C-alpha cells in the first residue's frame, strides 16, 4: 500500500534498518514480483500457499534466518508504522533472560511486533498452527514492554483504517520535518 512515494513495506524495512536489525526477511504471496521490484537488501521468500495464513509465512521466514540469530521479530506489513526506537527498546529489553517472547504494549494494549527468541523456531515448525502465532505463544512465557508508540497498534485491514493510518503517518512526517528522521516523502 502506498504511503506518499513509498510503501508500507518500505517504511517497515527502513525502520528495521534504522533500529540496527541485520537481517530482514520478507515473505510474500501472489505479489512477489511487485515486492521484489520495491525492496532490496532483504531476504525475499515467496509463500507458495499464502491462503494457509500468516503463521505459514512466519514459519517460512523463521527457517530462513541466519543460524546465529538470537531473536527475531514477526511483523505483519499491515502494521507499518512501528518506530525504530520501539524496535530498539524491544531488542534492548530482551537481554533479560526470563521470557521467550517480548510484546510491545501501548496504552495498555498489546501490539506488534512480538520479539521471539530463536529457541522458539523448532516449536514454530512443530506446532499445528491452531490459533496462529498467538496460539503458539500462549504455551510460553512472555513479557510485555510498555512503549510510547501508537504505531504498534495501528493496522490497516479496512479502507477506513488505511485512511486513518495515512493521516497518522502524515502527522509523523510533519512532526519530523527539519529533523533527520526518514519516514518517507509526504
Q: Which pLDDT does position 146 carry in this prediction?
A: 97
Give how far the C-alpha of residue 110 lies from the chain's centroid of Cα atoms, to the nearest Å: 14
Q: Does the model's pTM come out above 0.85?
A: yes
* Domains parsed from the chain with CATH numbers: 2-176 (3.90.550.10)
Task: Give the start-end residues of each E strand in 94-150.
Answer: 101-106, 109-110, 115-117, 142-146
Q: Is 107 left (phi over 0), alpha (psi -120 to 50) or beta?
A: left
Q: Is 152 left (phi over 0), alpha (psi -120 to 50) or beta?
A: alpha
| pLDDT tens for the 186 residues of the chain, in order | 899 899 999 999 999 999 999 999 999 998 999 999 989 889 999 999 999 999 999 999 999 999 999 999 999 999 999 999 999 999 998 866 667 899 999 999 999 999 999 999 999 999 998 999 999 999 998 999 999 999 999 999 999 999 999 999 988 888 887 544 444 444
SS (H, E, C) 33-69: HHHHHHCCCCEEEECCCHHHCHHHHHHHHHHCCCCCC
Answer yes or no: are the C-beta atoms of 7 and 38 closer than 8 Å: yes
Query: What span, in angstroms and rounded, lies between the C-alpha atoms of 18 and 64?
Result: 22
Element (H, E) at 164: helix 159-176
Q: List CB contacts of 113: < 8 A, sequence separation 6 or more.
A: 73, 74, 75, 76, 79, 82, 87, 90, 104, 152
Q: Which pLDDT does position 95 carry in this prediction?
A: 66
Q: Which pLDDT does position 186 carry in this prediction?
A: 42
Query: What span, in angstroms and rounded, lies between the C-alpha atoms of 18 and 185?
Result: 17
Q: Which pLDDT does position 181 carry in this prediction?
A: 46
Element (H, E) at 13: helix 8-18
Amino acid at each position: 500500500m502506498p504511503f506518499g512515494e513509498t510503501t508500507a513495506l518500505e517504511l517497515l524495512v527502513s525502520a528495521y534498518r534504522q533500529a540496527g536489525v541485520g537481517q530482514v526477511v520478507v515473505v510474500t504471496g501472489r505479489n512477489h514480483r511487485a515486492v521484489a521490484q520495491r525492496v532490496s537488501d532483504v531476504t525475499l521468500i515467496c509463500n507458495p500457499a499464502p491462503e494457509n495464513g500468516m503463521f505459514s509465512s512466519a514459519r517460512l521466514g523463521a527457517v530462513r534466518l541466519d543460524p546465529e540469530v538470537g531473536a527475531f521479530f514477526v511483523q505483519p506489513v499491515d502494521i507499518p508504522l512501528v518506530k525504530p526506537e520501539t524496535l530498539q527498546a524491544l531488542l534492548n529489553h530482551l537481554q533479560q533472560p526470563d521470557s521467550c517472547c517480548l510484546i510491545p504494549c501501548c496504552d495498555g494494549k498489546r501490539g506488534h511486533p512480538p520479539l521471539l527468541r530463536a529457541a522458539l523456531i523448532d516449536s514454530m515448525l512443530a506446532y499445528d498452527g491452531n490459533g496462529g502465532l498467538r496460539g503458539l505463544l500462549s504455551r510460553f512465557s512472555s513479557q510485555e514492554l510498555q512503549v510510547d508508540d501508537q504505531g504498534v497498534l495501528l493496522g490497516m485491514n479496512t479502507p477506513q483504517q488505511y485512511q486513518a493510518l495515512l493521516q497518522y503517518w502524515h502527522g509523523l512526517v510533519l512532526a519530523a520535518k527539519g529533523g533527520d528522521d526518514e519516514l518517507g516523502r509526504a
